[in-house]
Amino acid sequence: MFRDPGIETLGRADLERLQLSRLQALVARLHERVPFYRERFAEAGVTAASIKSLADLRRLPFTTSADLRDTYPAGLLAVPMDEALRLHTSSGTTGRPKALFFSPRDVDNAAELCARSFVATGLTARDVLQNMMTYGLFTGALVAHYGAEKIGCLVIPAGPGNSEKQLALMQDFGTTAVHLTPSFALYFADFLDGKGPEARKPLKLRRAFVGAEPYSVKTRDKIEQALGVEVFNSYGLSEMNGPGVAFECEKRAGMHLWEDHFILEVIDPKTEAPLPDGESGELVLTTLCREAMPLVRYRTRDITSVVPGPCACRRTHRRLARITGRADDMLIVRGVNVYPQQIEHVLMAIPQVGRNYLILLEGRDDMTVQAELAHGESEMNEEQRVLLESEIAARLRSEILTKPKVKLLPPASLPASEGKAKRVIDRRTL
């Protein structure tokens, strides 16, 4: 199963040597097989021979999501089409979907990295994993499914939605771990709350693998409390296999990015200059092992930083801090940069606020934050509600530097989301 258990604790010098030789091979292979990269490399004046150290990575051109769309469907394929084994697309949260091909080895590696990640959280063959991600073109469910099977877990391919059925599965088969998006986790937590404490009693849940969307620490805490689990942050993207790119280990102090498979950079998205550990910028990833569709210096648009120093678990692969959002998610409201996650952070810290919210942008630049009240708060009177709304508006003002309107709604009145949530509706007429 695990081909090389020593890889997770390999010394930095050896790890970097491995990265360099894989990078050199990658550049040579792309030069030979993918006209798109041959041209880009020529423009940048680089060949495989010019990659002498990892620092030479910076001489290579970036690849953007626009490049993936421009070469859609198969312009970046590095193997003959009949050698490709599987197709996934990105879920298209932003813009048109992208097509991603997997060779047999890519399929196996993707599962391997997920298995490695799960094991790092303490998961074993005795666990029962209920996979509540969407099965289909989205990588989230399938890749994790095969990863957990590699460990020998009993995997329940539940998919999202249908909370009654999810609960029945958990009760009947003793589910110990769930894999789901933060928005569905919050929704399911709400559903469990509605059921009362009896429904929770027979559950054996211990771990939740939560990812595919940004979420705040407060949201994580809410999920942990409601489901009685430890949450492990899971980061991945279809362009890099899907889930299993970076994952929290049992120490839960940042997500180890598996550096034998990917080279990570954090750059200033405007100047493209590299940023030191601890500084927040755009994550850029280079695939080292992908066969069907390798990508060089892929601009993920995800905003994060490298957690400085080593992890207490002894793994040598560096850690990413919680993703604070996507560069694409940034809203400019009245001239101020606002990330939806900042709003979420404030809302989730307020006990009377429930788990679902929506940010509406209308008119010339008017922001309204709609938030559901928590279950126990539905009796709140008008006066109390107005008071709380203005208190929340004031707290938001100090976090995002612009004061939105706040509207508190009865529990369960906003549309529920099972997969990736749509938190922002922008109808501005600017």
Interacting residue ranges for ligand ADP, rule: CB under 6 A: 90-94, 138, 211-214, 233-238, 300, 302, 323, 326
- For the bound state, the minimum distance from the C-beta of residue 309 to Zn ion, rounded and expressed in Å, comes to 11
259 vs 19: CA distance, rounded Å:
8
The site partner of 304 among ligand ADP, Zn ion, none (C-beta below 5 to 8 Å per kind) is none
Tell whether omega for the bond before 404 is within 30 degrees of 0, i.e. cis.
Answer: no
**Which one of the spans 201-209, 247-255, 293-301, 376-384 is the region binding Zn ion (CB under 5 A)?**
247-255
For ligand ADP, the closer of residues 189 and 392 by Cβ is 189
The site partner of 311 among ligand ADP, Zn ion, none (C-beta below 5 to 8 Å per kind) is Zn ion
For Zn ion, the closer of residues 313 and 424 by Cβ is 313
For ligand ADP, the closer of residues 138 and 187 by Cβ is 138
For Zn ion, the closer of residues 88 and 315 by Cβ is 315
Q: Which two tokens stand for residue 405?
A: 């309107």
For Zn ion, the closer of residues 26 and 249 by Cβ is 249
- Exactly one of 100, 158, 212, 249 binds Zn ion (CB under 5 A); that residue is 249
3-class state of residue 179 by DSSP = strand
- 113, exposed or middle or buried, with CB in 10 Å at 0-12, 13-18, 19+? buried
CA distances from 285 to 38, 64, 67, 90, 233 (A): 19, 11, 15, 16, 18
> Within a 10 A sphere around the Cβ of 141, how many other Cβ atoms?
24
- Exactly one of 46, 154, 313, 409 binds Zn ion (CB under 5 A); that residue is 313
> Within a 10 A sphere around the Cβ of 162, how many other Cβ atoms?
13
For ligand ADP, the closer of residues 15 and 186 by Cβ is 186
Residues 6+ apart with CB under 8 A from 340: 214, 325, 329, 331, 359, 423, 424
The angle subtended at Cα 273 by Cα 267 and Cα 276, nearest 5°, is 60
- Exactly one of 251, 252, 375, 428 binds Zn ion (CB under 5 A); that residue is 251
**Which one of the spans 58-66, 241-249, 268-276, 401-409 is the region binding Zn ion (CB under 5 A)?**
241-249
Does position 311 bind Zn ion by CB under 5 A? yes
402 vs 420: CA distance, rounded Å:
26
Residues lying near Zn ion in the complex (CB under 5 A) are found at: 249, 251, 311, 313, 315
